[in-house]
Amino acid sequence: METGFYKYGQVFFNKKITKSFDNIRSFTDLGVQKTNYRHTLSSGVGRMSSAFFEMEPKQSNDEVIKTKDVKLTEIPKNTIRFALSQNPFFYFDSLSHYFPSVGSLSNLIDSKDFLAGLEITFSGTANRLKEISYFDYLQALSGLLQTIEADIKSNATEYEGSDYIHESISSVFKDKEIKVPRGGKRADGQKALVAKEPWYVYNANYGTNEEREFVELFARCFEELQQRFDNIYLIRNERELKIFDKQGRAFEPDFLLFCKQHDGEQMTFQVFIEPKGGHLIANDKWKEDFLLEIRDEKKIIRIQTGTYLITAVPFYNCNNENAFKTALVATL
């Protein structure tokens, strides 16, 4: 690995940090559902009975169940304030932790970024919908506030991934001893394929079957990449590097691809790649979602030694090999 790329190249990653809520300025920023909260009004219809039989009152047209949308701005503010006072999550000290910019309970009630932007869908008979009471509003608001609280708590983690930082490749990726079972398929380290290849940073790949399949695909793509890029290097990440998503969850992509453009700004692409067995794809969906976020962001970072574009590709799986190759070419 004693190349100029290894000695002087940079690798970008991030750290797990305490989450800052300074940029949270609305309910939607923390995943509060945009659909209306639905509340069913009590019918107010009695049921007659005797010792011998029961009689249901005949349903008139007025008793057909209908719905009505009510904006929170149409509900008396004193009713909303009382509902808020009954839920400790909406005490100002608690609320300002998640929404530092909220300013006051009055702003919480009046701003369209918060309660004033929401509606409640009431369902009931026509007569009940004409006579929605203080108690009805209070019940509906209580349910709405509980739903908002649940949405916020499920989406507001205490940690997040920081902005990108960088270190020299030589300080992060180092030669290390890998222990694998003797006699197994992984024991040969794929040396016949990678040991003498200029693009593979180490002299062996002791990865899983899926990782070996990916390396074989990359070997077939190398000549095509050479037409557009210099300094093409594929590094297997043996737990040396982690990245963290918006919820502070750690992810160790199996490979990092580096390649530098021939033309234009001569940017160096850093691509996170994760081969994934079919039986693990569903469970690790959040990791693929994270990779797609990185790809969509296309973060460009300029430092003294050059310009880098940080990106990623969807999971590689041997059963979606052609789709993966198409995605890789499109990403570069």
Q: Which pLDDT score is estimated for 90?
A: 94
Name the pLDDT band for 4 (thresholds 50, 70, 90).
confident
**How far apart are the C-alpha atoms of 46 and 64, rounded to whole Å?**
15
Is residue 245 assigned to a domain? Answer: yes
On whether both 129 and 260 belong to a single domain, the answer is: no
Count Cα neighbours of 273 within 13 Å in the Cβ-side half-sphere.
29
Contact 50, 112 (CB under 8 A): no
Contact 36, 121 (CB under 8 A): yes
On whether both 219 and 187 belong to a single domain, the answer is: yes
Is residue 108 assigned to a domain? Answer: yes
Task: Give yes or no for residue 49 having a pLDDT over 60.
Answer: no
Could you give the angle at the alpha carbon of 111 between the alpha carbons of 106 and 112, nearest 5°?
155
Q: Quick one: how many helices (H) and strands (E) in the chain?
A: 11, 16
pLDDT in tens, 59-94: 555 578 999 999 999 999 999 999 999 999 999 999
On whether both 114 and 170 belong to a single domain, the answer is: no
Our CA dihedral for 216, 218, 224, 226, rounded to 10 degrees, sits at -120
Last residue of a domain, one of 155, 181, 206: 155
Instruction: Please provide the average confidence, as pLDDT, over all residues in the chain.
Output: 87
- Backbone angles phi and psi of 148, in degrees to 5: -60, -45
Does pTM top 0.75 for this prediction?
A: no
Name the pLDDT band for 251 (thresholds 50, 70, 90).
very high
Tokens 């557009």, residue?
A: 228
On whether both 103 and 234 belong to a single domain, the answer is: no
Q: Which pLDDT score is estimated for 180?
A: 61
**What distances in angstroms separate CA 322 from CA 84, 177, 275, 325, one per listed residue?**
54, 33, 14, 5
- DSSP label at residue 322: H
Number of structural domains, the chain?
A: 2
On whether both 184 and 314 belong to a single domain, the answer is: yes
On whether both 92 and 120 belong to a single domain, the answer is: yes
Task: Give yes or no for residue 315 having a pLDDT over 80.
Answer: yes
Tokens 């739903």, residue?
A: 147
E strands along 63-138, which residues? 66-71, 119-124
Is residue 23 assigned to a domain? Answer: no
- Per the structure, the complete domain to which residue 78 belongs is given by 28-155
DSSP characters for 118-174?
-EEEEEE-HHHHHT--HHHHHHHHHHHHHHHHHHHHHH--SEEE---EEEEHHHH--
32-41, 128-137, 139-148, 161-170: least confidently modelled range: 32-41
Last residue of a domain, one of 133, 155, 177: 155
255 closest CA partner among 200, 322, 303:
200
